[in-house]
Amino acid sequence: MPLPDPSFLLARAPVVPVVTVPSVAAGVKLAKALTEGGLPLIEVTLRTPAALEAIAAIAAEVPEAIVGAGTVTRPELIQASIDAGARFLVSPGCPPALAEALAEAPVPVMPGCATATEAMTLHALGFPVLKLFPAESVGGVGLIKSLAGPLPDLRFCPTGGIGPSNVGTYLAQSNILAVGGSWVAPSEAIALGDWEQIVALAKAAAKLSRAAFP
């Protein structure tokens, strides 16, 4: 049976905010600001104690958001994230035990890869869309272009080092469905509660994303 495909989610917004939330309340306000700016997909990284509770609160209080869990690094985080309300999962890398567990998840998954071998291994397990991470450090657009020929069926959501200056170059590639980025939710703006700045950044990212498609 084919694994759940993230493509239909990524079609909603070519930029997926990758966010780290200091508190549940901040997570909800951040989700409201990002969705107001036109970015409904939100990857909440499991890097803070508040992350899972924030996912649950966003799922309950911000219905226009499509919230997912990022930094899924251990099998036990899969069910915990889904129980919290995550509608998709993202990992920075994917050792065998994690890959096997993610392949059993009932929600779309974007497992992380950094090389052609890792991409081929994950594709063989049935994953149709992969996270390239850290994108700029491992070859960026050049690597994505190189993978298009030998792996024509694979699609990517690269993350890491992507921002306003290069997002258009990434989105112009036929094998990229979306990019992940933290520039739309700066930690300084979150700490200050400057939600208007985040709304403005999200609007600019959404506009740039639409314009960037060939």
Integer Cα distance of 29 and 181 in angstroms: 18
First to last CA, the chain: 33
Task: Reply yes or no on whether 100 is catalytic.
Answer: no
Q: Which helix (H) or strand (E) holds 56?
A: helix 51-61
Cα distances (Å, whole numbers) of residue 2 to 62, 120, 148: 30, 16, 21
Among 29, 32, 131, 136, the active-site one is 131
Helix %, strand %, coil % of the chain (to 5)? 45, 15, 45
Which of 29, 43, 118, 136 is catalytic? The answer is: 43
Residue 131 is a catalytic residue: yes
**Active-site positions?**
43, 131
